[in-house]
Amino acid sequence: MTLKKVEVIMKAALGQGVVSSIVIQSDDLDEIDWEWIGGNQTHVQTNYFGKGNTTSYDRAIWHEVQTPQALYHNYTTDWQKDKTDFYIDGQVVRTLKKEEANGGRNYPQTPSDVRLGIWPGGDPKNNEYTIEWAGGAVDYEQAPFTMAVKSVRVSDASTATEYHWSDQTGSMESIEVINGTKRAFGLDGNNSVSPAQSAAQRWRALSDTAKIAIFCSVGGVLLVAMGIMAFCCIKQRRAGKKERVLADAEFEKGTAELLAFRAEMNRQRTLRMQDTKSGLGGNGYQKF
């Protein structure tokens, strides 16, 4: 497929002579690379090749990045017909223009795949230049060497399911894009999300179906939240009514007990008064 955007969040492998790579390559040997040297904890290299042309070695550029073997970073390649942008954590660190690549002849432009992994650039079987570039010979006693990949996002530059080469020039103009109803690997460049896009661009890139799904999801969440709030209010109201009924019953019980106490006190007072009167004479003096 013709790759539009490749976004990888990863940590490179640590180790002298060990090379971590993101390679975008076609059968025609068009190539775009990210490469980390295991002994270099401050930089990453970007590079490209066109039609396998290795007659010059002035295409590689080193970019500063904070401890790529210890921290996850977002490395994004955004290919376009006239230029390719390289991003680190959302910031453009390099722009390769088509005309800069041997007048466009060596500009990567043919359908490619993506390859991630590590390889021993410092293996003794490699040539001296490669070993030197990799930072020295690999100490295999330090194995294993680990490249950690958190996520990969790939989008297609077209909706093609296959391609047809009309000649052997290897130019993008010579490649016929054959569209189908089903996108290759289910990838869709219009729906790709990368740090190169704003939030508004990401929203506009979504399909109508995806937008409707988002609206429905948000609406569903709001309805659930409103239902929970209503349930809590009703429950609280019922609890309040129950507490009020209990309080009223307690008040009525207390009132009844008070009235009963007063009635008993009045009864006893009356009895005492009757007993006192029955023990007195007609003149009010007590009899002996």
- Catalytic residue positions, numbered: 31, 35
Dihedral of alpha carbons 232, 236, 237, 241, sign: positive
The Cα-based distances of 127 to 2, 75, 85, 133, 231 in angstroms read 33, 29, 31, 10, 74
Low-confidence residues in the chain, pLDDT < 50: 1, 182-197, 201, 280-288
What is the structure's pLDDT at 80?
Answer: 92
The ranges assigned to domains in the chain are: 3-206, 207-279
Structure tokens at 236: 């609280």
Q: What is the torsion angle, in degrees rounded to the nearest 10, for the CA atoms of residue 197, residue 198, residue 201 and residue 205?
A: 50
Q: Which two tokens stand for residue 73?
A: 């970073």
Sign of the four-CA dihedral 153, 159, 165, 171: negative
- Please give the model's pTM, rounded to 2 decimal places: 0.62
Q: Cβ(62)–Cβ(51) under 8 Å?
A: no
Q: What is the dihedral of CA 37, 41, 43, 48, to 10 degrees?
A: 20
What are the pLDDT digits (tens) for 232-264? 766 666 766 666 667 666 767 766 666 666 676
**pLDDT on residue 180:** 56
In sequence order, the 6+-apart residues with CB closer than 8 A to the CB of 286 are 279, 280
pLDDT at residue 193, rounded to an integer: 45
pLDDT of residue 226: 75
The pLDDT of residue 139 is 95
Q: How far apart are CA 179 and CA 239, in angstroms?
A: 64
The pLDDT assigned to 146 comes to 97
Q: Helix or strand or coil: residue 105?
A: coil
Architecture per CATH, 3-206? Sandwich (2.60)
